Chain A
């Protein structure tokens, strides 16, 4: 029981189908508090579906999911108090200014001092100068930073980031990585999905590979690398990258 309470996210036997199509076929994993967990998979592997179930946007067909100790099916309101979701597309209001977006979310989270919350986050994400401007004038990176800043309002202990850097240029991607690292350093649990292997390699404490609706491996980067035969000394020594691990595992099962 104590170990169960210690984990920020527990997923057990999770299944979900869209009509005939079985997207998740029994997914199990746990995420320790304050860690960064990467769910890695190709397009269509079911990453977004899993995140939607974990964030109470979709109902599972079978299995149990507990987030911050609350059951997503029966305690959805408590789960929503504990999480925030940053979806695949920056979910910001284009017509409002950056500051107005933050104030809006702070109000909807029923916080006391929405204006101050907004100003603090603008400063924290280097958006103070742009705060009064309409979001439609922001660059992709600024929009993503604002999006993540909106997710931090109310300090939810668990944050879901669904493909946070898809479509971003390398510079913006580094900015997002920095923000995610800082989050985990402050004790927030982060579950991120990605199709970029280097992203998982850079950020995650643990990596799980979701393939055809199942988790086929789950471990630290070092553990994953050990799954392949150790490097042999040849003319060129080459450590397997995570990309090699991923493609071999996926290829073997698929």
Chain B
């Protein structure tokens, strides 16, 4: 495999590994927890580095995961004091843990790989240099590590899918049935922490947040089914990873930064063009409803004046414009669409209801 292909492979694996737990973060409305965790794991990494003097020791992963869990419990502890709301609690906890990590690194870790740029954006471009061979396959270490984490996420979410779904939708019932929502919450947060720790090394904390939130948020606009939301999130993640790689190539820019940008671009496109929930679809629906209502108003008006002696004047177009307070253009187009549906006919400048139009009018009045 070429280094280019390897970078895209690692990024795609990271994207799917992040998107799957991200779906549950979005549905549980704790999306910002990914931001908190992906930053505060730096504390665990820094402490682990001080103990072991290595940046790839397994202890680092354990400590980093532990600082992710610490973040979650500190945030929840703060919320439980009922003096701080959830968003503020998240904003209070992770900058403190993150900056302790930054201080430790800048004070003790000098010029090793752990510099602050790498923390925020990672350095995907170097990933192919660090290689490991397993089963006779010589691949970048990132493929093995993130592949392992992806498998773990698939396995856990697959096994506990029913429990996670129930605890996310209705924590009260989950607890009553004996599926501890607290246990499931911390389980999910551990998965998020482990994923963030693994991904962090390759893509930095910003891309971890982008990959956990934007693909599920995009998928949520396209589907009403949880399994499909999981699948689409994974696809969105892969698309952003590959699209971002080529954007970075074109612009000669940081790869992780370009990928994070692409998650935003894909979200924006979905927000605009999603077939049912997109902004454009919504605007069209509103427009259609307005048209529909105007036609119904016209029919009701005509039917009410149909049998009166002054029907002649009431039902002229000019009079309608005045009576219903419509702009002339709008009146014209409404009459035209009523004519197209054969609800009204024009005779000698007067508007007459057809039989069908009369039926529609009486149905509307009965609503």
Q: A and B: partners?
A: no
